[in-house]
Structures are given as structure tokens and as C-alpha cells.
Structure 1
Amino acid sequence: MMRTDWRDHDWQLIHTAPQSPTLHMALDDVLTHEVGAGRRAPTLRIWEWASPAVVIGRFQSLRNEVDSEAARRHGIEVVRRVSGGGAMFIEPGNTITYSIYAPQSLVKGLSFQEAYAFFDAWVLQALGELGIKAWYQPLNDITSEGGKIAGAAQVHRGGAVLHHVTMAYDIDAAKMLDVLRIGREKLSDKGTVSAAKRVDPLRSQTGLPREAVIERMVATFRRLHGLSDGSLRADELVQAEALGHTKFSSPAWIGDVA
């Protein structure tokens, strides 16, 4: 297999109406599979969230990461994704989340670290055009002089790579600390004040509405790599909805496996 370049592929954009956290998890599973099987062109998907969520990594312990009682109190759903990495605190309108579903040929021969940097380069360029000096911080962060902006996770399966990123647009730091245990431990000696500094929202750095930041990101991807407007196929949505109701909603998947 020869290594391919971005422009060797006909990239498609999916950006639909808000969807549930569980459906987002299932869509990542289905679309990665479809690209790997050659039934879908490589795709950039911009997520819109229908409700708040905590997304934990594939290998994280639910009880170690999340205060489930606090999550219930705030009406926050806890879901588990197919990739590794850390917990993400999501509120609709406060985050920018995207997935890239790519053939493995795009990162052939690259180390994990090189693959993360490779998949995030276009975003760094988009942020630069918005006046944010941002850089890739190994292994899976995008950071700036004002603090961390985003966290990425990746998984390779069936001939495809899933690379997804959650960016902080605006964050309710107090609520995040209430729900995520790990944040409390890291910050307990420093006080809650520093929580807002650890994840510095894009809103404060750009002064732009979230939609304008997304618009610039999509335009930058289009300019650098080519991008056509696409859509979810009906069969993909049906598959994802089924998986959302079974695998991704099941206590065995979300909870701690003994």
C-alpha cells in the first residue's frame, strides 16, 4: 500500500442538525467502518450536540472519571467512545467537535505522534487565520498561549483511521469540575479559579460566534484539501441508530467492566 495525500481523495463534509450523544458515538463507529470498507469517501464530520454529555475514553474507568450523581443532577448523559484518551465535558454551543474518517493509506508509515500532528495541521492553520497562535502538544492536545484549546483521540480499524477532536469554545468550569473527578484532583491544590485557565475557550481568544469559527475551519479544510458537501446515507443512519440503542446505550459498554 502506497502512502496517499489529502488531495488524492474526494473529501466529503457532513454537518447535520443536532444529534444525541449516543448517536454521535455510534456514527463514529459506523462511518469509520464504511470508509474502511470503501463504501464511503473519506469524510469530515462536524458534530452538533442535542444535549450535554461527558464522553469518556474507551479504556477509562467510569467511576474514577465521573461523579455520576453530579452528572444526573445537571442532566448530563455519560457516553463512552470507541477511541482512547481522556474525558471530555460537552455542552451544546460550548464545544466544537469534529471527526475525520480517513483511509489508513493517508498516515502509512507515520508514528502515532506524527499522525496526530498530521491530522491537526489544517486546524492550526485555521486558528492562525483567526489570530490564535496555536500548536500541537504531543500526544493529543492543541494548545495556545492562553491555555489548552482542544483534545484529540484516534483509533485505527478495518483499513480506516478515526481522528476526532473536541475544542473548547466556551466552558462552564465550575460545572465541569462538579462532574469530572480528574479535574478536581488536578486542581484541588490550586483552587477552582485556575480551572478556567487550563482549558481556554476559543470565544475569549477570537471574539467570534461559534458558527464563524466552524465556518473558517471548514473553509480552510476546503482550500487545503478539497471538500464537497455530502450527507449521511439513510442506511448509515439506520445502522448508527440501531447501535446507539444497543451497544452504545448498554451498561456493559458505558460502565466499568469487572
Structure 2
Amino acid sequence: MQLLDLTLPSPEENLALDEALLTAAESGECPSEVLRIWEPFEPLVVIGRASKLHEEVNVETCQSRGIQVLRRASGGASVVTGRGCLMYAVVLSYELHPQLAALDVCHQFVMGRLQSSLAREVPEVNFQGTCDLTLDGRKFSGNSLRCKRTHLIYHGTLLYDFDLTLIPELLRTPPRMPDYRARRPHQSFVTNVPITREIIRQRLLEAWPTHGEMVDWPRELTAQLVAEKYTNPEWTSMR
């Protein structure tokens, strides 16, 4: 597995790069497994591949605040990210991990590693729902995945110093909730994990050992996806 510690200048580029890494691994143009770490510069709302924009997002508030709303290529519900929220993505190979073809095993595999690594700092870190990491029953990490023929990408958020007031301001009550949430509103459901950015980064590297930096990342494919998809309003508002 190679490491790509890279935040690109725009939100569109950053979302496109995650998709490009999966596509490039699938085509054999890039290493079969990659760990990427990045962090947005500004607040950003990211909706899931099948999300209904106006059902999950306070669109008018985002527009009045000048906060972008973009759609990602993976599933799951909408999230708010920005400074104080470290983002990670792992591209994994079915050839190396054939058991990951079963989604429940896949969630356990990735979340279990992250939980075990972060619990070295905060032992109370728990894995709840389908793919959430929590502290005292409050979520600080939401995750999603996209599967293709030979590879998958599993990526998510890690709130450590984020302005949590943005979440109820920008997101509506989600249409689907895990049982453990018990229908709590955003403000009593989300939290920051008390671990510094650098320590979280170290724990990610321990959870996903890498061998060298990825220098030749898929620049052309990323730019193509930005032009054709991530800057296309029809992609974001398609549902």
C-alpha cells in the first residue's frame, strides 16, 4: 500500500481524486492499494451517490453562506466537513483481500482497524451502526464505500476540532438513522474525538501500513472527472 497525503486546491478536485484512485487501481494504472489523507480548507457539504439533495441538505442556507454542496461517488448520507475534520480513503484489492466481497466483513475489516488504532489514544472509541465510530454514543466518524470489480474504496470523516454547529445548520434531519442514534438531533449526536490531527494521522498510518509515497497519482483522470462530473450541477442535483 502506498501513501498519498494530498489535499488539492478545490473541493471538486478532492472528491474527484478519490474516485480517480479507485478507477486507476481498477484499470491497473496505479498501485493496487492506496491510503489517502486530506483535509478541506473550508466548510463543505458532501452528499451520497443516491442522496436526495433537498431531503438531506438545507440548500438555501448553504447558498446564503456560500458553502458548496457536492455529490460523491460512494453511498451513504450527507456529511459536513472542513477544517478540523480529517478525511481518509483506502483503496483495497479483492485479490489481496477476497473476504471483502462480503459487505459486512468489509465494514468490520476497515472499521475494526480504525477503532483499534484510535482506541490506543481514547479507549472508549466504539464501532456502532453500519460504519460509524463513536465516543460515548456520539458519532465522530462517518464512512462510506464504493465497490467495483477488482477494487473498492472505503473513505470517511474524522472530526477532531470541527465547528459542530455547522452540522444542524446545513443538514436536515436524515431520512435514515441507525438504531443507536435513537432519533437524536445532530447537536446531541455528533462530537469531536479528543485526539490531535497529527496523532490521528499517525494512527491511520499504523492501521494501514504503507511503503513509500505515491508520486504518480492520476492527475489527468482527476481533471477529467472534475470537468465532466464534479463541476457539473446536474451531477449534484440529479436526485
Aligned partner (choices 40, 46, 50) of residue 49 of structure 1: 40
Q: Does 1:97 align with 2:87?
A: yes
Per-residue deviation at 1:184? 11
Deviation digits for residues 56-91 of structure 1, max 9, x if unmatched? Answer: 000001111111221122221111011110111012
Cα separation, 2, equivalents of 1:67 and 1:194: 15
Tell whether the 8 Å contact from 1:100 to 1:162 is kept in structure 2 after alignment: yes
List runs of 5+ in structure 1 lacking aligned partners: 1-10, 187-192
State the partner residue of 1:243: 225
Moved over 3 A (4+): 183-186, 193-197
Taking the aligned partners of 2:42 and 2:75, their CA distance within structure 1 comes to 22
Alignment deviations for residues 161-198 of structure 1 (CA, whole Å, 9 cap, x no partner): 01111121133233221111126998xxxxxx964431
Instruction: State the 1:106 CA deviation.
Output: 4.1
TM-score w.r.t. the length of structure 2 is 0.87
SS of the residue corresponding to residue 164 of structure 1 reads strand
When residues 50 and 246 of structure 1 are mapped into structure 2, their CA distance, relative to the original with a 3 A threshold, is farther
**Pick aligned residue for 1:81 from 72, 81, 87:** 72
Query: 2:41 aligns to what SS in structure 1?
Result: coil
Identity of aligned residues (%): 25
The structure with more radius of gyration: 1
**Higher helix content, 1 or 2:** 1
Residue aligning to 2:21:
31
**What stretches of structure 2 of length at least 5 have no aligned partner?**
178-183
Q: Which amino acid aligns with 1:237?
A: R
TM-score computed with the length of structure 1 as normaliser: 0.81
Please tell me whether the aligned partners of residues 39 and 82 of structure 2 are also in contact (alpha carbons under 8 angstroms): no
One-letter code aligned to 2:214: S
SS in 2 for 1:143: strand
Letter of the structure 2 residue corresponding to residue 219 of structure 1: E
1:127 maps to which of 113, 118, 121: 118
Number of aligned residue pairs: give it. 231
Give 1:255's aligned residue: 237
